[in-house]
Copies of this chain bind each other. A is one copy, B any other.
Amino acid sequence: MASYNLLLLPGDGIGPEVMAEVEKLVGWFTKTGIARFETEKDLVGGCAYDAHGVAITDAAMDRAQAADAVLFGAVGGPKWDKVAYEHRPEAGLLRLRKELGLFANLRPAICYPALADASSLKRELVEGLDIVIVRELTGGVYFGEPKEIVTLESGEKRAVDTQLYTTHEIERIARVAFELAKVRRNKASSAEKRNVMRTGVLWNEVVTRVHKNEYPGVELEHVLADNCGMQLVRNPKQYDVIVTDNLFGDILSDVAAMLTGSLGMLPSASLGAEDPATGKRKALYEPVHGSAPDIAGKGLANPIAMIGSFAMALRYSFSLVKEADMLEKAVANVLDGGLRTKDIAGPGVNAAGTGEVGDAIVREM
C-alpha cells in the first residue's frame, strides 16, 4: 500500500472543525487499504502566535518542507487584530507559500447545480459555471521589496509596497494556465493593467510569447483586470481559465467564488515547480473561504471546501484520480440527498452540522 506524508495545519476559527472531517476520510483510506496517509498536525496563524509568538514556527516549516502535501484550514480573526504586522496570522500562510515555492494557485469557481439559487446572480448566468482562476502566488506586491513604512522628517509617514515580476515568473504561471486550458475548454484569458502598470506590460508581452511559441492551439485573450471584474459579474460563463497576478488574483478569485453561491464549497490548490529529479512538486491545499470566527466552534461550518481540497490533493499530489473522482461524486450525492449545512440549506430547511455532513460523505464512499 502506497504511503504518503500529509501535514495538517487546521489553523484558526472553523479550520479545526472542517479539518476534522478530512481526518475521517484519511481514516477511511487507511481502513480500505487504498493508500496510507501518515498525518502530522501543527499550528499556523493566530493559534501558533498564541502558543509560540510567531505565525508559524521553523519546526512547522520543516515539516511542511518534508511533507508530500500540506492541508491548510484557515487563519485569522479579530482576536489577533492588534498583533504586530510580522506576526499576524496571515504571515504564516504567506511564509508557507513563499518558502515552499507555491507559485501556482488554482481556484476553481464552480456553481453546483443544486445551489444555483444561492447565487446572487440570476440562475441562467451561473448555472453550470465552471471556471478556474490561475493566480500567481509567490510574486507581485505580496513579496516585492521595499515593503515598509518610514517616518519622514515632517512627521508624516510614507508606506511602500513593490509590485515586481520577472520574465521567468510570468512564463511559468502562463504555462500552468495553458496546460490547464488544454484539458478543459481550451481558452485562456490573461488579466492585467498594461494601460497603467509596467508589470502589466511585461505580463502581457510574456504571456503573448509563451502562447505563440508553445500553445498556439489554445485560444488566448487579454483583458484589463478592471474589465475582468466587470465581465465576471456580467457574464462569467464567457471564461474558462483566467490567469493573473497575485493581487488581481486575490480579488478576482473572491468575486468569482462569490458568484457561484457556493463559497463554502470551493477548494483550491497551490502548487510548486516539479522537481526534475523526483518528478514531485510541493503542494498546499486549502478552502477558498476564511476562518469565519463568527461561527467557529459551533459545528455549523460547511466542511465541503476542505474535503474538496483533500480531493484536489488526491488528484494532483498522489495521482489517486479515481479516488478523487469518487470523493467528488460522494460530495455531490450527499448534496443531492438534501443534507446541507446552514450556509447552503436555503430558508426554512433544517440544516445539518459539520460532522453530519462529513459522516454522510464517508458513508457514500
Contact = CB atoms under 8 A, between A and B. Distances in A.
A315 to B, nearest CB: 26
Interface stretch (A35-43, A252-260, A306-314): A252-260
Contacts of A234: 120, 258
A257 B230 contact: yes
Contacts of A254: 226-227, 229-230
Interface in A124-164: 125, 141-142, 144, 147-149, 152, 156-164
A235 to B, nearest CB: 7
A120 B236 CA distance: 10
A295 interface: no
A76 interface: yes
Contact of A258 (B148, B149, B165, B230): B230
Interface of A: 76, 85, 88, 90, 94, 120-122, 125, 141-142, 144, 147-149, 152, 156-168, 193, 195-199, 201-203, 225-227, 229-230, 232-235, 247-248, 250-252, 254-255, 257-259, 263
20 contacts: A88-B195, A90-B196, A120-B233, A120-B234, A120-B235, A141-B141, A141-B197, A147-B198, A159-B166, A159-B199, A160-B162, A160-B163, A160-B164, A160-B199, A196-B250, A227-B254, A229-B229, A229-B258, A230-B255, A234-B258
